[in-house]
Structures are given as structure tokens and as C-alpha cells.
Structure 1
């Protein structure tokens, strides 16, 4: 029973960067993560006025840690999806780390920036990096969504669309 604990939900596969993912599954899971992120953003935004008006220093630090943890979890889920999609294309998941290049400066601005220890030049650099990575991530996301995966098995796993391809040739094909 323990071996099947998360099998029916697919949680174990969802939280792992191993394996392959076809375009439709990538799109559906990406949409799910986007909806969850949007819902979290709306919840935090709804309470932002009341939270930030009477915010004490320990509460501010706790809120910042909470935001960092949520953002880190969402980024990990995104990385898992991107890694699987890159595996379907026959590419290494390490290539997917390029899409998260702005995470380091964001994390720095959230932690050290909380204590106003970062120079203004850092925020200007982060703003320009964020603008460039936004356009790059949009283009990379469209490529991952539109380019079909490699047919057949590869070193990352079996073809996710193998069940759609007939194993025997049709009678009329010879």
C-alpha cells in the first residue's frame, strides 16, 4: 500500500524533473501553476493593505520568508515542468536553469533588501535583468509549447505519446 501512496494523483511524478512531458500536458500543468500563482497573488493582494499598515518587524520578516518559500516552491514546480519538456525534446534539464537566472537577484533583493543594505545600482541592474528575462522566458516558453518532442524513446525515458502510435503497420500500408 505504501508503494501506491501518491500514484493515483501523480504527485511523485509532478514533483520530479525526471521523465518526459508532451506539449498538451505541459500546457495543462503550466496553466494549473499559473492559476494557483494568480490565486495566491490575489489573496496576498487582498490582505496587503491591512498587513502592511500595521506591520511589525518580526511580522515583516515572517511575511518575507513566507513569500520566499511560496515563490521558491512555484519556481521548483516550473523547473520540473521545463526539465521534462526539455527531456522530451532530447535536451538536458540544465538548459532550463537559464530561465531562472533572475531568481538569484530577486532572492537577494527580498532578503538583504529587507534591511535596506543593497545599493540603488543593484535595483537598477535587477530591473533591467528582469525586463530582459521576461522577454526571453516568453520566447522560450513558446518554443517549449510549439516544438514537438522527439518520436520514440530517448535517454530520458519512453515517448509520452507512444500509446497514440500503432505498434503494427496498418493492413493497407503493406
Structure 2
């Protein structure tokens, strides 16, 4: 399979490749077919093995390897009837456009494509965008539930209490707890920290403070082992 290098740290010997299938693969130095210099944007060929790439060979290195007489080898001609490989396989290559960095877009992706995404990085704007619209959704759920309880007379009439409101509140929190955890983990990755520190955000007394601190720290400059700098970040 062909792909594009998203990140490679030669000192620590790890990196990421965006495959032609739209998936992202991790790799280490031992997954290279031979010692070679890789940079972001380089095209490679590799063998997918789950979420890991192995047998990696730079297409540039293969095309410029010496042939007999010392001249560069000519690139292999495509097979008859085969489709040409796309020039780029970046994270947004499947739709051909860059993903929006708006607050609502971050929130919507948090509930859809990033619902249980515990890999990659999340910038501060993504965290606060999700927080903003999550809070608005919570207020709407409570308002709808309370209105339903008032119309039934459960609140003022001495009924069983605001059952609908508590039911909608619990359902909303239950449906959004996984995206919250995934977002906190990605925010920690963006700071260069392990995602296991997300446990601090759910401890009594200190959880709120820990979450606020993690949400306010700026993005770590440069690529780290969890991926490149998120789109839209100015360093």
C-alpha cells in the first residue's frame, strides 16, 4: 500500500503514516526495510498490519537508487488498466478539503468521528468548543425535561418530582461521557503528556481544577509521538 509520512522522529525512532485507505498507521525504525531519511510529506510503500505499518520503503529512495552504470533507476511503469496513485494521502485526503477549525465543527466531530478517538491531539480551541456546545446541549435537555414535568404537574402538584428532567439529564451525560474522556486524553497528548493523567479529571475535589489546568496549557511546539501539531495552531 502507498501512503504519506505524517511524522517521523529519527531520534526516538517512531512515526505516523497516512495510508491510501484513509487510515493512519504507526511505525518504528525497525519497520523500515533499510536505513533511510524520512520527512513529513514523503511518499512510501508499506505493508499494513492492523494499525501498524511494516516493510516501509520510500518511493523516492526506490526511484533514485543507483542502477548499473551509476545512473538513477527509472520509475516503474504502471500496469495496464491500473489507476494512478494519488499524490497525497493526508488525514483529509478522502474529502479533498481541510477540516474546519470552527467551534461547532469541533463539537460535531467530537460526537461523530472522534466519539471514541483516544489517539492524536486536541488543541485548546477544540476542547473549549466542545465544552461550549456540550453545555448548551445540557441546558436544552434540562429545559425540555423540566417543561415536560411542569406540564404533567410533577413539580408543583406534589408528584414524583422532575422525573423527565432527571431522565434526560442522565441520558445526555451517559451518551457524551466517552467523547469527553477521549477529548481529555487527546488534550493531554497535545501537551506531550500521557492520556492516563485523565484519571485526575474525575477525582473528587481536584477533578475540576485538573481539567481547567489541562484545558489552559498551550499546545506543545512541534510534533510529538501522538502526532503533528493540530491544524490552525500558531506557534
Q: For residue 145 of structure 2, give the secondary structure of its aligned residue in structure 1.
A: helix
Aligned counterpart for 1:20 among listed residues 97, 114, 121: 121
* Partner residue in 2 for 1:155: 225
Deviation at 1:22, TM superposition (A): 0.9
Are the equivalent residues in 2 in contact too, given 1:21–1:85 (CA < 8 A)? yes
**Superposition deviation, residue 65 in structure 1:** 6.9
User: Whole-Å Cα distance in 1 between the matches of residues 180 and 216 of structure 2?
Assistant: 17
- Supply the distance in 2 between the matched residues of 1:154 and 1:141 (Cα, whole angstroms): 21
Q: Which has the larger radius of gyration?
A: 2
- Which structure carries more helix by proportion? 1
Aligned to 1:29: 130
Aligned to 1:41: 142
Alignment check: 8 A CA contact 2:119 2:226 kept? yes
Cα distance change of structure 1 residues 63 and 145 upon mapping to structure 2, 3 Å threshold = closer
Query: Does structure 2 conserve the Cα–Cα contact (< 8 Å) formed by 1:88 and 1:150?
Result: yes
Query: Number of residue pairs matched?
Result: 126
Q: Does 1:77 align with 2:173?
A: no
Runs (4+) of structure 1 exceeding 3 A deviation are: 7-10, 51-55, 62-69, 161-165
Instruction: Give the conservation status (yes or no) of the 8 Å contact 2:191–2:219.
Output: yes
Q: TM-score, normalised by structure 1?
A: 0.56
Instruction: Report if the CA contact (8 A) 1:37-1:74 is conserved.
Output: no
How well do the aligned residues superpose, as a CA RMSD in angstroms? 3.5
Residue 90 of structure 1 is aligned with which of 192, 199, 203? 192
Between Structure 1 and Structure 2, the one with more strand by share is 2
The separation in 2 between residues aligned to 1:16 and 1:25, in whole angstroms, is: 14
Structure having greater relative contact order (Cα 8 Å, sep ≥ 6):
1
Deviation string, structure 1 residues 74-125 (Cα, Å, up to 9, x no partner): 2222112211111101122221133234xxxxxxxxxxxxxxxxxxxxxxxx
Query: For structure 1, which runs of at least 5 residues remain unmatched after alignment?
Result: 102-128, 166-174
SS in 1 for 2:221: coil
Structure 2: state its 5+ residue gaps.
1-21, 23-93, 100-107
